RNA sequence: GGGCCCGUAGCUCAGUCAGGUAGAGCGCCGGGCUCUUAACCCGGGGGUCGGGGGUUCAAAUCCCUCCGGGCCCGCCA
C-alpha cells in the first residue's frame, strides 16, 4: 500500500522526459512566468570560442544548451537556439599544431586573421566551421550569430552605449565581484587599432557620446604572461560600426543577453566569475534580468595512448567520430552535468555499448521497473537523438566483439569476413545494414590506430619449426579450410605437440595473441599466400 | 585568496541533481564447450559507499564538519 502510493506519487512527478534538461526547462518557464516577460519565444544561447580548435568541451557546451532548448520545446513553448561565435576575440596564443606563422597575428581579432589552411575566409571562420560540422552531424538546429556581424550590424549598439555611459559603475561591479580594478580606469570596450589591426593592445580612455566614438591609444597588453606590443597609435573608434568589441568580463555577455533576449545559458566553471559579473551588470545597469544559468564542470583529457603524443591533437569531435557515432558522443556530454569528466578515446566503446542499452530500454526490449528511472533513461536516449530517434532498433553488436573481429579481419575483405562471422554468431541474418557498416568502420579505425599488431617474434624449438614447415607445405597443397583445420591437429599430434599449444603458437605468430578465430578458414581468409609468408617469416627470424 | 569537483568491489567507474533492498564492465575462482573464434553461457567470492555528526519511517544520495586527491578563477578570453 505504502509502496504503491509512493510509486504513484513518483510517477506523477515526472517532468517532460524525466531528465535534468526537462527539469531545467520547467524552471526556466516558471521563472519567466514570474518575471512576466512573456513566453512567446524562449531563447537559449551558447557562446563558443573561435580562437582555437573546437574540442569536446566546445561540443558539450553546445549539446547541453541545445538539449535545454529542446526540452523547452517539448513542453510546448517556442524556443530558439542561438550559437554565438566569439570571432571578434583576439588571438592570444598560437594553438598547438598550428603554423608558427600565426605568431605575427597575436592580438588580432580571429575574424581578421587569414585562414592558414586557405579554405575559409578567416582563421576564426575555419575554427568555427570545425564545430559547425560536428554539430550538424549531430543533428543540431541552430541560429548562428557571428560576433563580427553582430557588432558590424549594430545589434548591440544600445547596450554598448549604456555600458559606456555607465562605465564607472561597470568598473565598480567588476571590482566588487573579482577584485580587479582595471575597469575603474579603462572603458569596457576594446577598439581594433586602426593602424596595426590588434585589439587587446588598445586602451579606451574616453567616450564621446554625441559622436558614438571612443578614443584609444594602442599601448600593448600582457596576455598569458606575454607582452603584446602596441603600435602607439592614437585613434577613435565608432562602436556603431563594429570597430571594436566589449570586454568579455565587463559587460559583453550582459549586452548579448539583453539584445538577444536570452533566457537561459549554461556555462563552464572556467568562466564563472565573468558570468557573475555580467549577471550584475545586466540587472543593475542594463535593466534586464539575466538569463537563468547552469554551471557545468570541464572535460579533462586523460591523455595517453598514441593520440596526443604522435599527433599533438586535442580531443576533438572529429576524433570521436572516427571511432564512435555522434550519438555516443552526445551521450557522454548529456548523461551527467555535474562532476569533472576525464575522458579519453578509451571510453568510446563504453558509450557505444551504453547507447545500445538505452536503445533497448527505449524500444521496450529491456524492462526497467522504476517508472521514474525508465522515463529518465528513455528520455536520455531521445535527447541523444535530439528528439529524432530511429523508428526501429539497430543491430547491436558489442563494440569489443567488432574490435576483435576487426583485429583479425583479413586485409581487403574486412567487411565480408566480419559479416560472415556475425551471421554465424546470430547477430546478422541478411546483408550488412548501413548502420552496421559504420560500426565496422569504427572498429577497423580503432584497430588500425591503437592496436597495430606487431608481428611478434616467437621463440620456436626444433619440433615447432618442423611442424610449421609441414603446415606451410600443407597450405601450398590445398585451399580447403576443413582440411587445413584438421591438418593442424594432425601435424601437432604427429610431432608430439599438444594441439592447444600448437594453436597458441600459430596465433602468436599470425596475430600476436595466444588465441584467435578458427584457423583453417582464417588462413584462407587472410590469403593463402599471406599466411605462408607470415609462417615462413617466423622460421627465418629464428635464424638471425 | 575565492570557487568547484571527486573519494563506492582488486581495477575503471555508474548510481547522488527527483532519498526507497548497493550496481556494471574488466580481473579473479569454479563449471559448461574441448577437431577451438579470444567470444559466449552458468555459478562464486568480494564493498565500514573516505571519517564523524545531523535531518528522515528510510541516506551512497539531503545538511554540517573533518581528512585525502584534483580542477577552475585570481592576466585575457
Strand pairing partners for A214? Answer: A207, A237
* Phi and psi, residue A205, nearest 5°: -115, -15
Closest CA to A97 of A346, A322, A315, A326: A315
How far, in Å, is the CA of A100 from the C1' of nucleotide B21?
61
Q: Which nucleotides of B are covered by protein (CB under 7 A)?
A: 3-6, 13-18, 20, 35-40, 70-77
Name the residues in A441-500 having a C-beta closer than 7 Å to nucleic acid strand B.
Answer: 485-486, 489-490, 499-500
Could you read off the pLDDT tens digit of each residue along chain A, which spans 544 residues? 333 344 334 344 678 888 889 989 999 999 999 999 989 999 999 999 998 888 888 999 999 999 999 999 999 999 999 999 999 999 998 887 788 899 999 999 999 999 999 999 999 999 999 999 999 999 999 999 999 999 999 999 999 999 999 999 999 999 999 989 999 999 999 999 999 999 999 999 999 999 999 999 999 988 888 888 899 999 999 999 999 999 999 999 999 999 999 999 999 888 999 999 999 999 999 999 999 998 888 777 654 343 333 344 578 899 899 999 999 999 988 887 776 666 777 788 888 888 888 888 888 887 777 777 888 888 999 999 999 999 988 888 888 788 878 877 877 888 988 888 888 777 887 888 899 999 999 988 888 887 655 445 566 777 888 888 888 888 888 878 778 888 888 888 788 777 777 777 787 777 666 666 777 777 777 777 778 887 887 777 544 3
Residue A272: CB less than 7 A from any atom in strand B = yes
Is A225's CB less than 7 Å from nucleic acid strand B? yes
Nearest to A253 by CA among A270, A274, A268: A274
pLDDT value of position A142: 97
* Per-residue pLDDT, A146: 96
ipTM: 0.87
The reply to whether the CB atom of residue A297 sits less than 7 A from any atom in nucleic acid chain B is yes
Report pLDDT for A511: 66
Whether nucleic acid strand B comes within 7 Å of the CB of A129, the answer is no
Q: How far is the CA of A171 from the C1' of B10 (A)?
A: 56
Nucleotide closest to residue A340 (CA–C1')? B5
Q: How many residues does chain A have?
A: 544
Asked if A25 and A265 count as a contact pair (C-beta separation under 8 A), the reply is no
Residues of A from 425 to 444 whose C-beta is within 7 A of strand B: which are they?
425
CB count in 10 Å sphere of residue A515 = 10
SS3 A179: coil
Pairing of strands A262-268, A292-296: parallel
Burial A329-354 (b: 16+ CB within 10 A, else e): bbbbbbbebeeebebebebbbebbbb
How many whole angstroms separate alpha carbon A270 and alpha carbon A47? 13
Residue A418, all three cell numbers: 566480419
Q: Is the CB of A405 under 7 A from strand B?
A: yes
User: Model pTM?
Assistant: 0.88
Amino acid at each position: 500500500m505504502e509502496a504503491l502510493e509512493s510509486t504513484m506519487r513518483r510517477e506523477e512527478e515526472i517532468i517532460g522526459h524525466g531528465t535534468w534538461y526537462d527539469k531545467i526547462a520547467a524552471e526556466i518557464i516558471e521563472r519567466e512566468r514570474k518575471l512576466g516577460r512573456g513566453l512567446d519565444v524562449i531563447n537559449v544561447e551558447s557562446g563558443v570560442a573561435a580562437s582555437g580548435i573546437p574540442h569536446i568541451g566546445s561540443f558539450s557546451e553546445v549539446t547541453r544548451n541545445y538539449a535545454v532548448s529542446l526540452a523547452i520545446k517539448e513542453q510546448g513553448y517556442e524556443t530558439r537556439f542561438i550559437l554565438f561565435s566569439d570571432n571578434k576575440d583576439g588571438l592570444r596564443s598560437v594553438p598547438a599544431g598550428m603554423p608558427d606563422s600565426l605568431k605575427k597575428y597575436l592580438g588580432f581579432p580571429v575574424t581578421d586573421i587569414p585562414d592558414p589552411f586557405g579554405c575559409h575566409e578567416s582563421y576564426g571562420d575555419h575554427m568555427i566551421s570545425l564545430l559547425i560540422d560536428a554539430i550538424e552531424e549531430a543533428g543540431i538546429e541552430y541560429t548562428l550569430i557571428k560576433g563580427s556581424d553582430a557588432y558590424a550590424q549594430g545589434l548591440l549598439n544600445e547596450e554598448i552605449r549604456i555600458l559606456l555611459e555607465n562605465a564607472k559603475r561597470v568598473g565598480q561591479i567588476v571590482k566588487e565581484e573579482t577584485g580587479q580594478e582595471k575597469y575603474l580606469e579603462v572603458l569596457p570596450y576594446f577598439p581594433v587599432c586602426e593602424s596595426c589591426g590588434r585589439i587587446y593592445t588598445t586602451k579606451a580612455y574616453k567616450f564621446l557620446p554625441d559622436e558614438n566614438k571612443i578614443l584609444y591609444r594602442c599601448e600593448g597588453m600582457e596576455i598569458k604572461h606575454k607582452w603584446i606590443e602596441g603600435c602607439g597609435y592614437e585613434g577613435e573608434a565608432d562602436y556603431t560600426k563594429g570597430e571594436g568589441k566589449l570586454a568579455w568580463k565587463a559587460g559583453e555577455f550582459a549586452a548579448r543577453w539583453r539584445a538577444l533576449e536570452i533566457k537561459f545559458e549554461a556555462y563552464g566553471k572556467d568562466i564563472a566569475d565573468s558570468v557573475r559579473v555580467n549577471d550584475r551588470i545586466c540587472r543593475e545597469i542594463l535593466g534586464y534580468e539575466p538569463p537563468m544559468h547552469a554551471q557545468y564542470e570541464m572535460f579533462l583529457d586523460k591523455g595517453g595512448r598514441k593520440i596526443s603524443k604522435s599527433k599533438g591533437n586535442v580531443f576533438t569531435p572529429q576524433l570521436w567520430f572516427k571511432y564512435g557515432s555522434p550519438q555516443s558522443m552526445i551521450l557522454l556530454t548529456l548523461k551527467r552535468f555535474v562532476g569533472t569528466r576525464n575522458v579519453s578515446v578509451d571510453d568510446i566503446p563504453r558509450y557505444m555499448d551504453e547507447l545500445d542499452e538505452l536503445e533497448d530500454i527505449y524500444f521496450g526490449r529491456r524492462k526497467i521497473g522504476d517508472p521514474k528511472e525508465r522515463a529518465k533513461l528513455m528520455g536520455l536516449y531521445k535527447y541523444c537523438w535530439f528528439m529524432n530517434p530511429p523508428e526501429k532498433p539497430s543491430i547491436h553488436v558489442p563494440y569489443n566483439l567488432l574490435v576483435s573481429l576487426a583485429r583479425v579481419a583479413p586485409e581487403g575483405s574486412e567487411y565480408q569476413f566480419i559479416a560472415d562471422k556475425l551471421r554465424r554468431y546470430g547477430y546478422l541474418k541478411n546483408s550488412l545494414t548501413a548502420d552496421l557498416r559504420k560500426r565496422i568502420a569504427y572498429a577497423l579505425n580503432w584497430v588500425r590506430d591503437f592496436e597495430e599488431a606487431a608481428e611478434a617474434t616467437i621463440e620456436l624449438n626444433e619440433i615447432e619449426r618442423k611442424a610449421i614447415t609441414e603446415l606451410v607445405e600443407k597450405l601450398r597443397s590445398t585451399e580447403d579450410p576443413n582440411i587445413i583445420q584438421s591438418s593442424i591437429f594432425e601435424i601437432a599430434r604427429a610431432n608430439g605437440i599438444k594441439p592447444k599449444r600448437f594453436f597458441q603458437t600459430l596465433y602468436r605468430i599470425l596475430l600476436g595473441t595466444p588465441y584467435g578465430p578458427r584457423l583453417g578458414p582464417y588462413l584462407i581468409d587472410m590469403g593463402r599466400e599471406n599466411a605462408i609468408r607470415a609462417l615462413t617469416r617466423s622460421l627465418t627470424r629464428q635464424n638471425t
